[in-house]
Amino acid sequence: MNSREQQLQAFDRLLTIMDELREQCPWDKKQTMESLRHLTIEETYELGDAILENDLSEVKKELGDLLLHIVFYARIGSETNDFDIADVANDICEKLIARHPHIYGDVTVADEEEVKQNWENLKLKEGKKSVLEGVPNSLPALVKANRIQDKVAGVGFDWEEPQQVFEKLKEELEELQHEVKEGNKQHIESEFGDVLFSMINYARFLKVDPENALERTNKKFIKRFQYLEGKAKELGKSLKEMTLAEMDVYWEEAKKS
């Protein structure tokens, strides 16, 4: 691994390159925070994919892309004298020190749950009106639900046992079935949302990240379905020409491959 001096040299090199690109490259000159935003989101998802695939070489590359974006935003901020990369780094350093009084102060904590509770309480003391203010509006609904539940749990609004959450999930499923029988589309959607919210809550108690779990299932399904498509091609058939029974044979094969 690189020494701290080498790490700082590498970061300095990146800052220098960013300055040169911003001053000399026609594309880089034109970029704004708004134009970079969707690219940053895309890079974040690519990093997420690499992490799920446990492709550490790709993780390294995607971290580099994200680091470039951070440096890019800071450079743009410096051009209007609003902030630069030192301000960005110092702000997060100060926040980390303030939010970790058990490391940099005289607070004692028993475990990670207490750390999380202290974190949320400290944020309220800093002027936040709600613990939910830190949940971005633009988050995908599944991720947002997980963050909402995590945030409120941090201030003690939570179930005590996983079984309680599971019972709540069963209750929501029964309510969904009732509305399905009634046939009211609006009520069905509402109850379906409650079921999903309860499932995400249960996942939290099981120490399972619901987003990761669902994405792994997506990847598993894609792999198996593409195996099925390949077998259909070998037989000179389209999937529409195959019976469900035929497809099921190859689906079971795919599960073993």
pLDDT in tens, the chain (257 residues): 999 999 999 999 999 999 999 999 999 999 999 999 999 999 999 999 999 999 999 999 999 999 999 999 999 999 999 999 999 999 999 999 999 999 998 888 888 888 887 877 787 777 778 889 889 888 899 999 999 999 898 888 999 999 999 999 999 999 999 999 999 999 999 999 999 999 999 999 999 999 999 999 999 999 999 999 999 999 998 898 899 999 999 999 999 87
CA 107 to chain centre: 30
Pick the closest to residue 210 from 149, 133, 121 (CA basis): 149
Hey, what are 93's tokens?
A: 């350093």
Determine contact, residues 25/72, Cβ cutoff 8 Å. Answer: no
Residue 168's pLDDT is what?
97
Q: How many residues does the chain have?
A: 257
Asked if residues 107 and 101 have their Cβ atoms less than 8 Å apart, the reply is yes
In this prediction, residue 224 carries a pLDDT of 95
Q: What pLDDT, on a 0 to 100 scale, did the predictor assign at position 75?
A: 98
CA dihedral (156, 157, 162, 168) in degrees, to 10, reads 170
Provide the pLDDT for residue 26. 97
SS3 assignment, position 69: helix
The closest of 231, 226, 253, 255 to 242, measured between CA atoms, is: 231
62, with CB counted inside 10 A (0-12, 13-18, 19+), is buried
State residue 32's pLDDT score.
97
* 36 backbone φψ class: left, alpha, beta (φ>0; ψ -120 to 50): alpha
pLDDT at 257: 79
The pLDDT assigned to 188 comes to 97
- DSSP letter at 128 equals -
Looking at residue 160, what is its pLDDT? 92
